[in-house]
């Protein structure tokens, strides 16, 4: 009986016929599948080996496990939304009580109804949508530019030790510069206009994304990366297939911090050299003694910040379905 090298034998189906993948073998596709399997296995905690005669229990996704750990009242989206409204309602009630019982004068703290009246006045004149629209536009454009640059530079410094050694000290020093310190320099370099304001917002959005991405990429499991490289994954393919999905929770956290920072830097940008926007509305209301409009601008900033954060929440849930990563909440 002649012997055969089993390593060179082609896989056979149940009827004994040789079977090949369509279009020939693809080590890269097999590598992606194997690395994804390794990543899933590496993410399970406390899972022991299954004996040959045992039946493995189906593994739970992070979203399903998180759903079961929540109290039953928090699993219903409508109930969760109603619970989230309780605290704002209480704050409005306390606000109303303090503004009507003589603790504060109407100039110091107008009634909620007076703030609503100021909002209706601006809405009728058309100025409200102008302020909201221009501020939202500045935040979105600056956030996209700043977070995009933060992702690129954070990936570069997180993956390259040489780039990290060269650039990390300088970027760390620039991160400590307060937002208002950039205002006179940008006005001098770029001038009073949209470009200077968008640039300041982009600066605010850059650093949270850069910090979280660069730190997260340095802590990706080395065994996972070596396994991917053994299957031929290199460069951009390695980054998009293995490293980026591994750090997505940190990326989303960085994006949320960047969005909040963008709104903070927006107010700093509109405090000087602006004739439109919510930051301008704050300054103009202070100068004219319109505390009702000032509080209206603060409430609008809070509402717009929450709405834009909710859009990132939709993106977070999409990443959970796409890659099965655990969310930031």
pLDDT-based confidence at 24, cuts 50/70/90? very low
Does the pLDDT value for residue 38 go beyond 80?
A: no
pLDDT-based confidence at 11, cuts 50/70/90? very low
Cβ atoms < 10 Å from Cβ of 269: 32
pLDDT computed for residue 218 by the predictor:
83
Alpha helices in the chain (DSSP H): 27-43, 62-69, 77-100, 112-125, 127-159, 161-175, 179-189, 194-217, 222-230, 235-238, 244-271, 278-287, 291-323
Provide the terminal-to-terminal Cα distance of the chain, rounded to the nearest Å: 64
Are residues 327 and 316 in contact, defined by beta-carbon separation less than 8 angstroms?
A: yes
CATH topology of domain 113-323: MetI-like fold (1.10.3720)
Which residue ranges make up each domain of the chain? 113-323
pLDDT tens-digit readout, 111-166: 999 999 999 999 999 899 999 999 999 999 999 999 999 999 998 888 888 988 99
Please state the length of the chain: 329
Does the pLDDT value for residue 34 go beyond 70?
A: no
277: phi then psi, degrees, rounded to nearest 5: 110, 165
Mean pLDDT of the chain: 77
DSSP string, 179-208: HHHHHHHHHHHT-SSHHHHHHHHHHHHHHH
Does the pLDDT value for residue 29 go beyond 60?
A: no
Are residues 220 and 182 in contact, defined by beta-carbon separation less than 8 angstroms?
A: no
pTM: 0.72
- Locus of tokens 């992702």: 151
Rounded distance between C-alpha atoms, residue 251 and residue 35, angstroms: 21
More confident residue, 53 or 85: 85
């Amino acid at each position: 009986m002649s012997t055969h090298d089993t390593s060179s034998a082609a896989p056979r189906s149940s009827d004994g016929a040789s079977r090949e993948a369509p279009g020939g073998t693809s080590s890269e596709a097999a590598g992606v599948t194997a690395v994804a399997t390794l990543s899933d296995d590496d993410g399970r905690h406390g899972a022991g080996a299954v004996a040959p005669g045992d039946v493995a229990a189906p593994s739970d996704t992070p979203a399903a496990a998180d759903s079961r750990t929540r109290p039953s009242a928090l699993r219903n989206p409508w109930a969760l939304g109603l619970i989230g409204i309780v605290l704002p309602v209480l704050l409005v009630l306390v606000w109303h009580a303090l503004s009507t019982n003589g603790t504060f004068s109407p100039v110091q703290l107008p009634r909620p109804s007076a703030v609503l009246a100021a909002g209706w006045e601006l809405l009728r004149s058309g100025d409200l949508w102008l302020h909201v629209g221009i501020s939202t536009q500045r935040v979105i454009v600056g956030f996209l530019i700043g977070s995009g640059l933060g992702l690129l530079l954070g990936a570069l410094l997180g993956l390259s030790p040489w780039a990290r050694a060269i650039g990390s000290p300088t970027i760390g020093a620039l991160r400590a510069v307060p937002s208002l310190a950039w205002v006179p320099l940008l006005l001098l370099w770029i001038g009073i206009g949209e470009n200077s304001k968008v640039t300041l917002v982009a600066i605010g959005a850059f650093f949270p994304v850069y910090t979280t991405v660069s730190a997260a990429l340095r802590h990706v499991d080395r065994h996972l990366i070596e396994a991917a490289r053994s299957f031929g994954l290199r460069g951009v393919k390695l980054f998009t297939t293995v490293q980026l999905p591994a750090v997505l929770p940190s990326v989303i956290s960085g994006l949320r911090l960047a969005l909040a920072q963008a709104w903070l830097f927006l107010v700093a940008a509109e405090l000087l050299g602006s004739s439109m926007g919510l930051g301008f509305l704050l300054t103009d209301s202070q100068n004219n003694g319109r505390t009702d409009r000032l509080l209206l601008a603060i409430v609008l900033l809070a509402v717009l910040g929450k709405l834009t954060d909710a859009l990132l929440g939709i993106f977070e849930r999409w990443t959970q379905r796409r890659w099965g990563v655990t969310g930031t909440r």
